[in-house]
Structure 1
Amino acid sequence: MIVRHMKDIIGSDREVETDEFISRRIILKEDGMGFSFHETIIKAGTDMFIWYANHLESVYCISGKGEIEVIGGETYTIEPGMLYGLDGHEKHYLRAEEELRLMCVFNPPLTGREVHDENGTYPLLD
């Protein structure tokens, strides 16, 4: 059984921070669960292009307000209690009107050090 506390993840190598977000990687590939699980804080004012060409992602909003604009599709308001699943590798813009606190699941699981490349993609790492 795996038991983790956020206080132990903050400031560790399982926390990745960029200008746009803070990703706290709670469950990773090395944990052998078949997915990874993250708390992600999207900073207020962020407008990011993302394309998970190599991963599927589900996102559940805990707090804040923003939107996801699917390129060639609809725009959805993100607010507490809303979940979206990127089951088709959708290219999208993620915008945070207020700081967003999101819980995210990735398949295949992340290793823990990924950051978005120039295409808004996480590479597949071993």
Structure 2
Amino acid sequence: MYPAIKHLHILCAILSISGFLLQGMWMLLRSPLVDHRVTRTLPHVIDTVFLGSAITLATMSGHYPFVAPWVTAKVVALVVYILLGATALRWGRTMRVRVMALLAALLVFSWIVSVALSKHPAGFLAYAGVFQ
């Protein structure tokens, strides 16, 4: 059961970041598709399954936030990613702010993936020598 849920979680990660990139491109192009009903609804469905699979995996594995440092790092970074994503796609008042938030959100998402793969709270920063 664990491998199936892990694969669902990975699939949701791929779908989530792909949808975010697509929305980001549409935002940059000022496409009306960014405000389409499906575009505004589907990411919430995907992200709900994504979060549910994460909670299930944490429960099954016994890796909980504030117990496993790398899981805590992912949860904190997830909050940052959500705030940056909302700034990029909705809250940013200027295109410059939106683009910077979009790029920062992509960097944070990449870092979250590196934390997940390495099981180290510093993720790729540990390998860059920033945190040892």
User: Normalization by structure 1: what TM-score?
Assistant: 0.27
Of Structure 1 and Structure 2, which has the larger fraction of its residues in strand?
1
Task: Kindly indicate whether structure 1 or structure 2 has the higher relative contact order, using CA contacts under 8 Å at least 6 residues apart.
Answer: 1
Of Structure 1 and Structure 2, which has the larger fraction of its residues in helix?
2
User: Normalization by structure 2: what TM-score?
Assistant: 0.26
